[in-house]
Homo-oligomer: A and B are copies of this chain.
């Protein structure tokens, strides 16, 4: 149940001193034999790109889409740190490469934590030798533990799909940034793929998983999803399916652990003019402060849902829209529908809530996973210290 589930990978995690709390804060995932394998990544679209994102992107290009290892720290995002931050990220890679006896370009790097504070390099430099020495097929849980920030639990996944295994770990309360920024995920597989195909597989896999998740509409400076494909399995089948399953599981684990959330809410929009319009409408509903307050209160105020659909910037006809909570239709043809109010209340009081909106205009559909907006979210985010 870890990032080392696929044969050919090792991992480690430990406390080096970035976090004052003494919690684990440094992780490494690597190929067991120290040789490069095809690698691909999807990075944040935020233009305020953190140093490790800039460095990993450059290494993937310079390394010909191959990598040996991914080194990650929590407790500091190394974002808004300028040239010094880029040098620090390069140094993390170089130190790992030195101990693994590989090229620095074959090491990728991720950071997560507070933005705008120089990365404390002394503890990281002193931690790396022990981190490399601790690499083991059993080190997955330690690595997953060491990338947590406000996560209350580790997030891990294993998918067996025919002859291929995908293992993964992640941190974060959303692709769209939690408290101290950042969603990170590292996946490994024994499947076989050329770097270009692997990138395409990964891009398809994140579309309806990590990219369909929104806690608060904030896109982090550090978001990164990396996959390493070791190629030890015999099958050479398409990896999209198993990667999607793994990403989906990790995304759901993030939604369930979103900051302060008491509910996981799936917003499904159907009947849109296109899938893109459906996704856009679902995101508008999912990111609405007012709608999210209603979820917290288990309040069946569908008027807010209709109002968000109408201002989502997509084709919309107020006389055709339908809204249901679970399978109970509360609004049909744009007006209140007779319904079983107690069934709605009991659906809204559950931990998992479904909001299904049909626009009545076409066959496009899309889903966004979100959560409620709570006092605890504010408490967690109103002060960083």
Which residues of chain B are near A118, meaning CB under 8 Å? 336
Which of B85, B217, B307, B336 touches A48 (beta carbons < 8 Å)?
Answer: B307
B288 with A49: CB separation less than 8 A:
no
Does A319 touch B at the CB level, under 8 Å? Answer: yes
User: By the criterion CB–CB under 8 Å, are B116 and A302 in contact?
Assistant: yes
CB within 8 Å of B: which A191-240 residues: 216-221
Q: Which B residues are in CB contact (< 8 Å) with A306?
A: 48, 80, 115-116, 221
A32 lies within 8 A of chain B by Cβ: no
Interface set, chain A 79-131, CB cutoff 8 A to B: 79-82, 84-85, 114-118
Question: Least Cβ distance of A269 to chain B in Å?
Answer: 14
Q: A82 touching B334 by the CB < 8 A rule?
A: yes
| Inter-chain contact B46/A378, CB cutoff 8 Å | no
- Contact, CB under 8 Å: B373 / A294: no
Chain copies in complex: 2
Q: How far in angstroms is the closest Cβ of chain B from A47?
A: 4
Q: Which of A356-385 contact B (CB under 8 A)?
A: 373-375, 377-378, 381-385
Contacts A82-B334, A216-B290, A220-B307 supplied; 18 other A-B pairs, CB < 8 Å: A46-B311, A47-B310, A48-B321, A49-B318, A77-B303, A80-B318, A80-B336, A116-B306, A118-B336, A177-B290, A179-B290, A181-B307, A218-B307, A218-B308, A221-B303, A290-B381, A294-B383, A296-B378
Question: Please, could you name 14 A-B residue pairs with CB atoms under 8 Å apart, sorted by A?
Answer: A47-B311, A48-B306, A48-B311, A49-B310, A80-B335, A84-B335, A85-B335, A114-B301, A114-B303, A179-B290, A217-B289, A289-B289, A293-B377, A296-B382
Which chain A residues have a beta carbon within 8 Å of chain B's beta carbons?
Answer: 44-49, 77, 79-82, 84-85, 114-118, 177, 179, 181, 216-221, 287-290, 293-294, 296-297, 299, 301-304, 306-311, 316-319, 321, 331, 333-336, 373-375, 377-378, 381-385
